[in-house]
Amino acid sequence: MPPGFGPGSDHDSLLQLFIDKGFSAAELAALIGAHTTSTAFKQAAHGVPVNAGQDSTPGKWDINYYAETYNPPAGVSRFDSDINLAQKNTTVGKQFAGFVGQQNKWGSAFAAAMAKLSVLGIPTSAQKDFADCTGFLPAGTAVKMIRSAPLAGRVYSESE
Ligand code: HEM
């Protein structure tokens, strides 16, 4: 994982890492939106409390992250990397700002970039043999207890 704080967490270094792997600034801006669900466990040294969210609704697949990186409400802990990538006068920041309030735009941009990320390093010759196994997955559930369980609500342990 690239550094969220300190050396290497600046805009240019992070963008270069993704460019080296074939991703554009727009794709990075979309992928980083995954932090709409995240909480941090190991950033206490940088003043981030254990289990602090990167937006006000961690575990929820919304787009609060984009707006709240600019204006964090109380309780939201931002990574320096996210703040740096959000700066509107930067290459990634211009794209980042374009996702504020744009759930559908972000949803489709994220899905496309994530599909690309998920096959990173796999030769296209092997990808052509991939089969869609979606049909074998269990259907979604309406059981309230499961639906309300926090996505990142696991017990933290040092051995992870
Ligand atoms: C610029 C690149 C990135 C940086 C610097 C970065 C940084 C971080 C940091 C510092 C954490 C907190 C880890 C902890 O203390 O537990 C984190 C968590 C997380 N990040 Fe990123 N990240 C980056 C890109 C991504 C991408 C591309 C995705 C997904 C598409 C992603 C998804 C997540 C998720 C889901 C978590 C929560 C993990 C958990 O619950 O343990 N991040 N990230």
> How many whole angstroms separate alpha carbon 43 and alpha carbon 128?
40
Count of beta carbons in the 10 Å neighbourhood of residue 97: 18
Determine if ligand 1 sits within 6 Å of the CB of residue 83. no
Q: Can you tell me whether residue 52 is helix, strand or coil? A: strand
Nearest CA to ligand 1 atom 12: 40
Report pLDDT for 158: 41
Report pLDDT for 9: 98
Report pLDDT for 154: 45
Determine if ligand 1 sits within 6 Å of the CB of residue 39. yes
Q: Which CATH number does 11-147 carry?
A: 1.10.420.10
Per-residue pLDDT of the chain (160 residues; tens, 9 = 90+): 899 999 999 999 999 999 999 999 999 999 999 999 999 999 999 999 999 999 999 989 999 999 999 999 999 999 999 999 999 999 999 999 999 999 999 999 999 999 999 999 999 999 988 888 877 777 776 766 656 665 555 444 444 3
Determine if ligand 1 sits within 6 Å of the CB of residue 19. no
Sole residue written with tokens 């996505």: 151
> How many whole angstroms separate alpha carbon 45 and alpha carbon 52?
13
* DSSP structural state of residue 156: P
Q: Can you tell me whether residue 39 is helix, strand or coil? A: strand
Nearest CA to ligand 1 atom 23: 32
Joined tokens for residue 101: 């309030």
* DSSP structural state of residue 16: H
| pTM of the predicted structure, to 2 decimals | 0.87
Determine if ligand 1 sits within 6 Å of the CB of residue 100. no
Q: 129 CA distance to ligand 1 centroid (A)?
A: 30
